[in-house]
Amino acid sequence: ELKVEQNPLFLSMQEGKNYTIYCNYSTTSDRLYWYRQDPGKSLESLFVLLSNGAVKQEGRLMASLDTKARLSTLHITAAVHDLSATYFCAVDRGYGGSQGNLIFGKGTKLSVKP
């Protein structure tokens, strides 16, 4: 059974600091996604990681994927208050010949304080 674990689940940061969110998954998968969710809002796609060694960056966020270690990281550089949100990773289960069988982590609630 595919399980996805994120840590930490809660993260309080000061503005200007760096931190990393970790996403571990239990079985082989070749696709991993990162989403952002603001309170009461929908999920916003941040990154789609498709292969071992993939690295993508957008602004202060950088995501990477190591399929051998079954690990993805979301690194936050010089955090600002606007990054406060809940971040989810999701792994594509990929069975049944269909897309969208995503298994989500429980999310990391990030709070950036001045």
Partner 1 sequence: NAGVTQTPKFQVLKTGQSMTLQCAQDMNHNSMYWYRQDPGMGLRLIYYSASEGTTDKGEVPNGYNVSRLNKREFSLRLESAAPSQTSVYFCASSEDRNYGYTFGSGTRLTVV
The residue ranges that bind partner 1 (CB under 8 A) are 4, 31, 33, 35, 41-43, 45, 48, 50, 88, 90, 92, 96-107
Q: Which residues share a beta bridge with 95?
A: none
Task: Please state the closest distance from residue 13 (CB atom) to partner 1, in A.
Answer: 20
Task: Please state the closest distance from residue 6 (CB atom) to partner 1, in A.
Answer: 8
Number of Cβ atoms within 10 Å of the Cβ of 61: 19
Task: Please state the closest distance from residue 43 (CB atom) to partner 1, in A.
Answer: 4
Q: Distance between CA atoms of 114 and 105, rounded to whole angstroms?
A: 28
